[in-house]
Amino acid sequence: MNSKTLTLIVAGLLVVIGLTKPDLSSLVNRKPTPVVVNPVVFEKPTDSAILAKCDDVITSLKAGNNDRYEDGKRLASLYSDMATLLELDGENMIVRNTSEIRQANSLSGAMLKLDMKGKYNGLGKACEAVVLTAIGTDDSVNLDEALRAKAVSGFKALAWACNEGSK
């Protein structure tokens, strides 16, 4: 590239800048933007019956190989998100009944390609038992305020258990 061509390019850029008048202040006054990290806190369930069922989840994961570090964290994150989803009510309501909990969970597992079939002995049954204990039924019923709260607590407990099992 000769100097004439370079001059033309610079001139062209100046013309474009002159015409569009972009705000270039951010290029000269750059301030560091703080990165806000919200660490997910997994709370230990207080209900003794749910806690007992969580023990089976932890045991199942801990009996697995080293993949459990990653798998446990992924599951904990999923169930934490499920709890958030279940909490949505009123105009934001997505999950209306217990059947839709099943569908949401099953779909989430498929979407995240969480195919861990047989990897952790009895993990699915153990997870099922936590949710069943929290909700108190596997009948197809609408979620009223109380039942929704129970479902949320079940998935939060499950998130805690999976996180514990990952350690």
Partner 1 sequence: MPRYSPEELYNNYREGFSGCIWEQHIFDYLMEESKYPLFGAASKKISESGKGKLSTPYKSVLKFDKNPYNERQTTGDCVSHGTRNACDISRAVEIDINHESEDWLAKGATEAIYGYRGHGGQGMSCARAAQFVTKNGGIVVRKNYPGVADFSKYNGNLGAGWGARGLPDKVIDLADDHQIRTTSLVRTVEEARDALANGYGLAVCSSYGFSNKRDSKGFARTSGSWAHCMAWIACDDTGDEPAFLVQNSWGKWNDGGHPAWGPIPDGSFLIKADVAAGMLKQNGSYAFSNFDGFPVQKLPNYGFDYLDN
Binding-site member from 105, 153, 163, 166 for partner 1 (CB under 8 A): 105
Binding-site member from 76, 123, 157, 159 for partner 1 (CB under 8 A): 123
CA nearest neighbour of 101 among 57, 61, 139: 139
As measured in angstroms, the least distance from the Cβ of 92 to partner 1 is 21
Residue 137 near partner 1 by CB under 8 A: yes
DSSP one-letter string for 67-99: THHHHHHHHHHHHHHHHHHHH--GGG----BHH
Distance between CA atoms of 16 and 26, rounded to whole angstroms? Answer: 18
Residue 145 near partner 1 by CB under 8 A: no
Distance between CA atoms of 27 and 7, rounded to whole angstroms? Answer: 23
Mark the segment that binds partner 1 (CB under 8 A) among 12-20, 39-47, 84-92, 112-120.
112-120
Residue 142 near partner 1 by CB under 8 A: no
Residue 110 near partner 1 by CB under 8 A: yes
- How far, rounded to the nearest angstrom, does the alpha carbon of residue 118 sit from its chain's CA centroid? 23
Give, rounded to a whole angstrom, the gap between the first and last alpha carbons of the chain: 59
Query: What does the per-residue mask of binding to partner 1 show for 56-95, with x meaning CB under 8 A?
Result: ----------------------------------------
Residue 80 or 98 with smaller CB distance to partner 1: 98
Give the up-direction half-sphere exposure of residue 38: CA atoms within 13 A in the CB hemisphere.
2
Residue 131 near partner 1 by CB under 8 A: yes
Distance between CA atoms of 146 and 19, rounded to whole angstroms? Answer: 62
Q: Which residues bind partner 1 (CB under 8 A)?
A: 98-99, 101-107, 109-110, 114-120, 122-125, 127-128, 131-132, 137-140
